[in-house]
Structure 1
Amino acid sequence: MKIAIICPMEEEIGYYREHLDMKSRGIIGDTEMWDAEYEGHELIIVRCGIGKVNSTIAATLVAQEGPDVMINTGSAGAIAQDRQIGDVVIGEATMYHDADSRPFGYELGQVPSMPARYKAPENLVEGFLEAYRNTDLNATVGLILSGDQFIHSVEKVNWLYETFPGAQCAEMEGAAVAQVAYKFGIPCIVIRSISDTASQDAEVLFEEFVVTAGKNAAKVTLDYLKHIA
């Protein structure tokens, strides 16, 4: 299979570098790409940069190569109170928390003419669950929120949790990647690991644990690729 793996930051790519022979394709704009092989799969590893526009550009570039699956991995801030630093969230769906076209009859978080939520195919969710069971990590399946905001207050966390039932964590790229995949008809899933509690001092925790979070999300992803080999 041809698998595209899109990560926002260099810190979130480190585990892939350690376990793959990544051959650089170069940089297009600010999007850097590498080729690799793993367990018989052809991989395209992408560093997209932070935020929805950067991830949209990267996902659009890689979508034109016709990957069989698009996976967005990296770190996220916890929204559900029982999520701990290092936990992995397998995104059964992802959606925007900062889109609002409700005056025109759309749901909060829904971009006009697009789905309110981008659901991952069941076989991807189940495959990642099987892969996770072979690790020593804690993982859960749930909703992942995306928006151009670094969440850093208890008030915002509480609002997100109450407004978007089932939300487990928040990040800044996943829904944009999923929207591009939806437009191109490519199966897509978002896999994130908790780097911070998205509340007071979130930036301190993020700086300390972003590498660990990136590693955990990447580990589950490579275990998934081994599982389906």
Structure 2
Amino acid sequence: MKIVIGAMEEELNQFVIDLEAQRVEGSLIPEFYQPDLDLTIAWTGVGISNASWGLTYLLTKYQDQKIEWIINVGTACGVNLTLNQNDVILVNHAYYATADATSFGYDYGQIPSMKKYYSAAQTLIKQVQTLILDESIVLGNGATSDIFFVQPQQVCQYLDKLAEPIVVVDMECASFYQVADHFNHPMIALKIISDVLEKTKENSQQFHEFLPKAAMRLSLMLRNFLNIS
């Protein structure tokens, strides 16, 4: 089985339509299945808790099946000002942007007794770079929190404390990576920049205006990765 997972219906519904995936009745989260591809598509809702619960639910539900890979797709805010709306980021390392247990000797961004960060599966990185040929994909680090970043000051307040430069922020990625790591399944996250800090329009306006376009592009990228039209 393969799993494509995200936060919002608006990000993945086009992919569900394009694949003619069928809703899985009785699922505790919105879940769809494409039998020819043995592919599950699901969205969890926004935020760290929803993401971790939703993926844990799926991996527990299908624990007797071989999980080939997990891909998280969705939108994210660009905090590197060289990036633009519609750029594609493959998240290499994912941190928690607001985790601070430094008084106990942990690194900023590290949950106590957990890893400092969670990483994309190297084999999947190579597959993406090989199969999604029509896209210019940037390999960069992401940070996750329950904050929708709208101010440059938030970069100084949170991201500058992390050990590596961060190019995108979102509200789910590190949670998905952490759960996949616990279950020992390979995973990557592909993010389309929906909004960029310090642009003319407010970030929320950038995000809402771009979301339909992002959904179409995400579907195309995934279909290219799966080598289907």
What TM-score do you get using the length of structure 1 for normalisation? 0.89
Q: C-alpha separation between the residues in 1 aligned to 2:31 and 2:50?
A: 13
- Residue 77 of structure 2 aligns with an amino acid whose one-letter code is G
SS of the aligned residue for 2:113 comes to: coil
Q: Which residue of 2 aligns with 1:145?
A: 143
Q: C-alpha separation between the residues in 2 aligned to 1:163 and 1:223?
A: 37
Q: Which residue of 2 aligns with 1:97?
A: 97
Q: Which residue of 2 aligns with 1:79?
A: 79
Structure 1 alignment gaps of length 5 or more: none
SS of the aligned residue for 2:24 comes to: strand
Q: Contact (CA 8 Å) 2:15, 2:218: kept in 1 or not?
A: no
Runs of 4 or more off by more than 6 Å in structure 1? none
Q: Contact (CA 8 Å) 1:73, 1:214: kept in 2 or not?
A: no
Aligned partner of 1:48 among 37, 44, 49? 44
Q: What displacement does 1:161 show?
A: 5.2
Count of matched residue positions in the alignment of Structure 1 and Structure 2 = 221
SS of the aligned residue for 2:111 comes to: coil
Greater strand content: 1
Q: Contact (CA 8 Å) 1:14, 1:215: kept in 2 or not?
A: no
Q: What displacement does 1:159 show?
A: 4.8
Q: C-alpha separation between the residues in 2 aligned to 1:122 and 1:80?
A: 23
Q: Contact (CA 8 Å) 1:80, 1:161: kept in 2 or not?
A: no
The worse-fitting range, judged by mean Cα deviation, of 120-129 and 9-18 is 9-18
The Cα offsets for residues 23-56 of structure 1, whole Å up to 9 and x where unpaired, read as 1113544x2111014xx63111001110011111
Q: Contact (CA 8 Å) 1:20, 1:36: kept in 2 or not?
A: yes
The worse-fitting range, judged by mean Cα deviation, of 105-114 and 64-73 is 64-73
The Cα offsets for residues 110-163 of structure 1, whole Å up to 9 and x where unpaired, read as 111111111112111111112232x2x332011111110100012223555533
User: 1:118-137 alignment to 2 at 5 Å?
Assistant: 118-133=118-133, 135=134, 137=135
Q: What displacement does 1:83 show?
A: 1.1
Change (3 A) 1:89 1:100: same
Q: Which residue of 2 aligns with 1:189?
A: 188
SS of the aligned residue for 1:11 comes to: helix
- Residue 13 of structure 1 aligns with an amino acid whose one-letter code is L
SS of the aligned residue for 1:57 comes to: helix
Two-structure CA RMSD over aligned residues (Å): 1.9
- Residue 97 of structure 1 aligns with an amino acid whose one-letter code is A
Q: Which residue of 1 aligns with 2:58?
A: 62
Q: Which residue of 2 aligns with 1:21?
A: 20
SS of the aligned residue for 2:227 comes to: helix
Q: Contact (CA 8 Å) 1:12, 1:75: kept in 2 or not?
A: yes
Q: What fraction of aligned residue pairs are identical, expressed as a percent?
A: 24
Q: C-alpha separation between the residues in 1 aligned to 2:101 and 2:206?
A: 33
